[in-house]
A = this chain, B = another copy of it.
Amino acid sequence: MSQSAQRPTGPNRPQRSQSLQSSQGEPGGSGRVSARTAAGSARPTLEEVAALAGVGRGTVSRVVNGSPRVSEKAREAVNAAIAELGYVPNRAARTLVTSRTDSIALVVPEAETRLFSEPYFSDIISGVSAELAETDMQLLLILVRNQRERERLSAYLTAQRVDGVLLVSVHQDDPLPSLLESLEIPSVLAGRRGDLEPLSYVHADNAGGARMAVRHLLRRGCEEVATITGPLDMEGARARLSGYRQALEEAGRPYQEELVGPGDFTEEGGRLAMRELLERRPGLDAVFCASDVMAAGALQVLRAAGRRVPDDVAVIGFDDSIVARHTDPALTSVRQPIEEMGRTMARLLLEEIAEQGRARRQVVLATELVVRESA
């Protein structure tokens, strides 16, 4: 414990061995290879900026991080040096000391993936990314496809590798929200588990959209308006059903169980439900479907049964997905502002991270009825 006078090759540029490993290395090993691209000139460090600007490291750091307690003169010198050297702060070094990672994760349980109305995922991402573009937050994407990966995620989050989490999840019993809750990591959900969701969330006004749709049908003179619901363990599906009910009741119509067909957001589910509804209530003249995909299924059954849409039976879907534009006739549908949901989620999360805050936020975004041919 004493030969401290011996220093290695160089003070600043540790020589890494360039020896190549045996051609392929052992397969399956974690394959450590001396990393360090042969890349060109080394990246300038904060210290070099300080030297060039003729100030201390502290001052450069203050300038870079926008601290107000820096003289105008020093600030200018530093900024000039930064520009000259093309300095970019090293994120890892910063993270190491602040334990702030400047990145957030978008977590998607892949099971849900199949229920997404099609451009959903891209739209969410697009919104999130747009909001993040102004900051220097990184977006990490994490798909969780099974229990093992859920555990990995848990370890991952515990290891504080992100500053916050956006979770796209809708199922009542998804374990992920609770995980986030117990980890006390800033997070925002797309959708919510129920009325009492304790986490921050953003969702579309499902009930309002459904109400609009059904009002539209009633206004058109429909007398027997049926509905095909989504899986009722999803809050969104429940809300759409209750919107349907509200619209009927406000029009003084009775809510009849017989007119409610349980679906599951799939096309086949839509077909099944439609068949049952037709059997129970052959006189129905309108169907509000809780998703476009189910509506597409319903459309097929209606046509097979010889009903003309919209003349005999008017049909409305939900999501305004691509499917809506390609059915025949094209579907009238309720649009959710998905990209804006993404943007809002990101914004809320950034706020929550910034204020270290316990304050939960919830935002409901308006939906909109897009009228096409089917109603």
Contacts and interface: CB of A to CB of B under 8 A. Distances in A.
Contacts of A267: 325
A185 B326 contact: no
A356 B159 CA distance: 28
Nearest to A325: B267
Given A35-B98, A118-B322, A296-B326, 13 more contacts: A32-B67, A35-B100, A88-B158, A92-B101, A93-B96, A106-B141, A113-B126, A139-B140, A139-B141, A140-B140, A141-B141, A323-B323, A328-B328
A33 B39 CA distance: 34
A267 B330 CA distance: 14
Contacts of A327: 326, 328
Interface stretch (A49-57, A76-84, A142-150, A172-180): A142-150
Interface string A152-168: 10010011110100000
Contact of A155 (B36, B88, B328, B355): B88
Task: Name, among A125, A149, A158, the residue most crowded by chain B CB atoms within 10 Å (CB to CB).
Answer: A125
Contact of A356 (B29, B37, B118): B37
A290 B323 CA distance: 19
Interface of A: 25, 29-33, 35-39, 43, 65-67, 88, 90-93, 95-96, 98-101, 103, 106, 110, 113, 116, 118-119, 121-122, 125-126, 129-130, 133, 138-143, 145, 149, 152, 155, 158-161, 163, 184-185, 267, 296, 322-323, 325-328, 354-356
A200 to B, nearest CB: 16
B91 A36 contact: no
B106 A113 contact: no
A184 B130 CA distance: 28
Given A96-B96, A140-B140, A155-B88, A130 B145 contact: yes
Copies per assembly: 2
B126 A35 contact: no
Contacts of A149: 133
Nearest to A121: B122
Contacts of A155: 88
Contacts of A116: 122
A356 B33 contact: yes
A43 B121 CA distance: 34
B37 A184 contact: yes
A-B complex: 4 closest residue pairs judged by Cβ atoms = A92-B95, A35-B100, A30-B66, A129-B143
A106 B356 CA distance: 29
6 contacts: A35-B98, A35-B100, A37-B185, A92-B92, A113-B126, A121-B122
Contacts of A118: 118-119, 322
Task: Name, among A35, A149, A184, the residue most crowded by chain B CB atoms within 10 Å (CB to CB).
Answer: A35
A30 B65 contact: yes
